[in-house]
Chain A
Amino acid sequence: MVKTKIVIDYSKCGNATGGIDPRQCGKCLQVCDPAVFIRHMAFNVKEDNPYDPQYWQITPVWLSLCTHCGKCVKACPQKAITVSF
């Protein structure tokens, strides 16, 4: 089974890991027709509070529905996304 791999460079996008806050951008969410990405609070940024609402990141969740259109790669201002097999 050929599987799509989508990698986000969290040093570029994700404000707990040195990147931008994806709540200020969200371009990938907007351009992806099958809605592959989810924007969510990051996990365990502070151990005592796994739900710290300050820290957000993007995760490509519905990988099997990606059509390899490449729109997210082009739209990402941080050049944080790669799509491959």
Chain B
Amino acid sequence: MCNWCMKHGAGGKWYLNARNYSYELAEAMNLQAYLEEQWKNFEQVYIRKIMGVSSIGLGYKLRMPIIGRVIRRAVEGMIHSESKNRNPVRADGHFGQVIPIEEAKLIMLNLAAEPIIQNYCMCRLMQKGIKDVCCINFGVLSTVIEKLPRFIPENTKVRLSRDEAAAALEEQNRKGRVATVWFQPVPYICAICSCETPQCGGLRLRMDFGLHTVYKAEYYAEVNPDLCQGCKTCVASCQFGAIRFSPTLKRVLIDPTKCFGCGLCRDRCPHDAIRLLPRDENPLLRGKY
């Protein structure tokens, strides 16, 4: 369990705590107005100057001596902000974690607040120009997004039942997308995404710049050398470059320090050779999210 489970998990994982999905919490945090402000100009989040610095050329800015470290600390602070005067237009307090498909489905079936909607993945829309019905949003965020036509799919059902939402996530998993659950803003949970690098903004900031917009899952993958047939199916499923085929061993090797614990390799393996193990139980990986 991570820091956020300690703070918002009520003794368990943060994303399995029913309170974080509740309308009481959304109301106490006055989130309708906050999310409206955040979403109506969502695409501007990377362009906007925050304390004089925008994301344009962020990679270079972070490499500057001293200033780079100051910027990194400021951005991490914003991403994880729990302060009362959070700023919606810079997406303060908005971050997530990778989860395996079974937990994504469990959230849809039991925890997500209705109404549940599916809408265009805004990352793919703003960075690839591709309209892909993919993101599952729920609770107060649903009604906020429903008012913004550019995110609303045409000729497709927008509101989903719990079963339909779980099936939609399963379908995304089959396509090879990584399930992620999001605080927006912390500790309120209102989205499960099915992400793909490099156009996912969250994974981009994590993978390319080391910022903790997305945490690794509570799990990591391990391959059973006796069961692996060396078919390499799993290699193509990993978005994090954590799996490699060894010609000498005629099987795959998984680098647990690179693994994000999404479970896609396990889901694709035709020989049941991969399993997910709890991150907490490995002394090297414990606490490394």
Bound pair: A and B?
yes
A interface vs B, CB < 8 Å? 1, 3, 26, 29-30, 33-35, 37-41, 43, 50-51, 53, 59-65
- Measured CB to CB, the nearest residue on chain A to B43 is A40
B3 at the A/B interface (Cβ < 8 Å)?
no
Query: Which residue of chain A has its CB nearest to the CB of B198?
Result: A35
| Chain A residue at smallest Cβ distance from B123 | A35
A62 to B57, CA, bound (A): 5
Q: How far is the CA of A71 from the CA of B117 in the complex (A)?
A: 36
Q: Are A39 and B199 in contact (CB under 8 A)?
A: no
Kindly list chain A residues whose C-beta atoms are within 8 Å of the C-beta of B41: 41, 50-51
Nearest first, the 3 A-B pairs at minimum CB distance are A64-B59, A26-B129, A40-B43
Query: A41 CA to B197 CA in the complex, in Å?
Result: 23
Shortest A29–chain B CB gap in Å is 4
Interface size class of B (residues with CB under 8 A): 20 to 34
Q: Which of A1, A43, A53, A63 contacts B56 (CB 8 A)?
A: A63
Assuming the contacts A1-B60, A63-B60, A65-B59, asked whether A43 and B129 have C-beta atoms less than 8 A apart, the reply is no
Q: Does B198 lie within 8 Å of A61, measured CB to CB?
A: no
* Assembly CA distance A29 to B126 (angstroms): 8
Instruction: Contact check, A43 vs B128: say whether CB atoms are below 8 A apart.
Output: no
Contact (Cβ within 8 A) A38 B47: yes
Partner of A62, one of B43, B58, B125: B58
Q: Which of B57, B59, B199 contacts A35 (CB 8 A)?
A: B199
B127/A63 in contact, CB under 8 A: no
Q: Are A63 and B59 in contact, with the CB atoms below 8 A? A: yes
Chain A residue numbers with a CB within 8 Å of B40 are: 51
Residue among A26, A34, A61 making CB contact with B47, cutoff 8 Å: A61
Bound complex: CA A60 to CA B60 (Å): 14
| A–B Cβ pairs within 8 angstroms, 19 of them | A3-B60, A30-B129, A38-B46, A39-B43, A40-B43, A41-B43, A43-B47, A51-B40, A51-B44, A53-B150, A59-B56, A61-B55, A61-B57, A62-B55, A62-B58, A62-B59, A63-B59, A64-B58, A64-B208
User: Within 8 Å of chain A (Cβ to Cβ): is B204?
Assistant: yes
Q: How far is the CA of A39 from the CA of B126 in the complex (A)?
A: 5
Return B87 CB to nearest CB of chain A, in Å: 14
